[in-house]
Amino acid sequence: MAIIRRLIILLVVVSLPLAAGLLFTYDIIKIDWVSFMEIQSSFQPQEDPLPMPAQSVPIQGAAYIPNLGAPVNPVAADEASLARGKEQYEINCTICHGAKADGKGPFAVFLAPKKPVSLLEGRPLTLSDGELFLTITNGVEGAMPSLKENLPDASMRWDVVNYMRSLQGK
Ligand code: HEC
């Protein structure tokens, strides 16, 4: 009998620290350890983490150099480019500007104060290819997000420009 009692006491003594330790798992008792992930700055999707370093050239080549004006369209508007542009337009732009580019995308009603514009009339007709490219690249402050992360390769953005032009009948 005595040996059984001793065994039970031993079991209790051994398992107590284990039970105490278990309290710290599954956040029953939470200790805020400093972790490196927490002290890093965090960025929301589509937020620019870093300005482009001076004198650097993007790995796809210099699509444009900031503050040096709008670039010239290097991509011919052939059938392949228009097909790629249509695909990317439908993925990235239709939601706001609409499939027909009339500014009536399904998401447009939720946007305020600035509504997506029709790409078929007014200012978008007067913008050069390069200016349209920069609009996609940088977005419009307070209205349209920068889409360069959705269209990381500059040629994808030129394809969309070409497709926009074809919708405009140019
Ligand atoms: C989240 C919604 C949204 C998405 C997605 C979006 N746009 Fe826009 N876009 C806007 C809004 C809002 C404006 C109007 C800005 C204003 O009134 O100044 C605008 C304006 C424009 C303009 C006119 C810019 C100017 O200077 O007048 C062009 C061109 C344009 N968008 C092209 C595109 C293309 C191409 C895509 C896809 C690659 C796209 N947009 C995706 C919301 C969007």
Residue pLDDT, tens place only, 39-80: 777 778 877 766 777 787 767 666 677 677 888 899 999 999
For 69-141, where are the alpha helices, taking DSSP H only?
A: 79-92, 94-97, 123-126, 129-138
Predicted local confidence at residue 2, as pLDDT: 87
Where do the domains of the chain lie? 2-39, 79-167
Give the residue, by CA position, lying nearest to ligand 1 atom 19: 116
pLDDT tens by residue, 71-125: 889 999 999 999 999 999 999 999 999 999 999 999 999 998 899 999 999 999 9
Its pTM stands at: 0.72
Tell me what pLDDT residue 33 has: 75
Q: How many CB atoms lie within 10 A of CB 154?
A: 21
Residues 6+ apart with CB under 8 A from 115: 103, 108
- Inform me whether the pLDDT recorded for 144 exceeds 80: yes
Pocket of ligand 1 (CB under 6 A): 92-93, 95-97, 111, 114-117, 119, 123-124, 132, 135-136, 140, 143-145, 147, 160, 164
Mean pLDDT, rounded, for 134-142: 92
Which residue among 96, 153, 168, 170 has the greatest number of ligand 1 atoms within 8 angstroms of its CB, and so is best to mutate? 96
Q: What is the pLDDT of residue 61?
A: 64
Which CATH homologous superfamily contains domain 79-167?
Answer: Cytochrome c-like domain (1.10.760.10)
